[in-house]
A and B are shown apart, each in its own frame.
Chain A
Amino acid sequence: MKTLVKIPLMILCALLAFFAVTFTIYVFNLDMKATALLEPLLEKWYDDLPRDQYL
């Protein structure tokens, strides 16, 4: 019986935690802010790739 109560409770807690984390990321636009930090590093990566330029 205890397990039967425990499992839905754990699922509910996990869902609430998922909502709390993702909603915070969503509201404060943390996803895009973090991505914007990556951009200069990626630019450098792409600049360093060898290219076969051809016209």
Chain B
Amino acid sequence: MKSFSNTMASVRSAGKNYLLFQPKWKLNPLRSRHIERSRALLEANSLKNQPQKTHLHKFHAEKGRMEVFAGFEIPMWYKGIIPEHLAVRNGVGIFDVSHMGRTLISGPEAETLLNYITTNDVSALTPLSAHYSTMCNPQGGIKDDFVLSRLEKERFLIVYNASNRDKDFDWIVKHSHSFNVDVKDVSSNVAMFAVQGPKAEQTLQKISSKDLSKIERFKCGWTELARTTTFVSRTGYTGEDGFEVFVWDTPLTSPEKAVNVWNKVLEAGKEFGIEPCGLGARDTLRLEAGMCLYGNDIDEATTPLEAGLSFVVKLQKADFIGKNSLEKQKTEGVKQRRAGILMLEKGIPRPHCEVWKDKKKIGTVTSGTLSPILKCGIAVAYVPTEYSKEGEEVTVKIRDTFAKGKIVKFPFYDPTKYGYQRKMP
């Protein structure tokens, strides 16, 4: 028996060439005040080849099946992907997502810098709000997707993909030189957990000093969780209601605060059937919700318009990197789109599977799995716009078999039964 495929291992951009970026915004000479990559990260990076660890490493190593992802040793699952997935859809689950990059951008020109390097409208973001956004290259290709939170008028927290930590930090720093801002990577000093599911609020409320029902979706705030200062945002990567919890001032070298909050959340969630969840369930949950995985569904060769992320591209705002290319693409029409495929026949679609229509290949699967909720195969694929309509029948070539499927809207599940918009009984 030999494993030959891993759903998270593909990077579609490999082998493609991009024009080198030519900065068109040459402002004043170095005005950037302060750039700091956290020391622990530098130290960790200096130990090349050795996977990095998060604050909760001991817990994970004892209870989970560990794998290396984006240079981090993290749990793929504890009890199993399916029970962890179901805990989040039906109750609550907690994920350690401290492998993600966390950078603070502050200063009088923080908003201007972020408006220039990201596609969403940062001016519309009020303090203690968050939004989903992308950074693009000049060709409009996605450098990364992330959540940006505005902590204060002049202070922002950007949370980006683990696989892009160095690339994103360098990109932000490179552009920050023309702006009066501080850029500080706080990833090693701030632990990050996601507490997700319909029972997430009730779980956290038991140990929170602040009334969490006052924090609406995509809003954030400071609270004491288990008597520890935390920043929480009502965001996530599962499609469910829930919070992302940032435990401040907890260096990797003394992780006690982070470990304490983690354990207290597990205790508080016991009555709701809480499960610690690994990266496996994180992937199946985001896929059912129709959310993008960077490196699989989006990369520097795909634009946010093709990926169905036009809601985070604000073409009416002032110049930003990639704007011209995106405007041009919008005018000319998007030729291919990210679409969901629900399988009508047996078989689990996987990345790189071909999508066929009328006896010709029309596209390629970028993510696929068996949906634990729907109990059938689901896939994300790029197909020509004319085939991306809901209800369009296609076939997916899974090894030597052609299996029928149809194009569906995201999320894959019924949003009145699952996800943050569900109608509570």
Q: Do A and B come from one complex?
A: no
What is B's interface to A at a CB cutoff of 8 Å? none
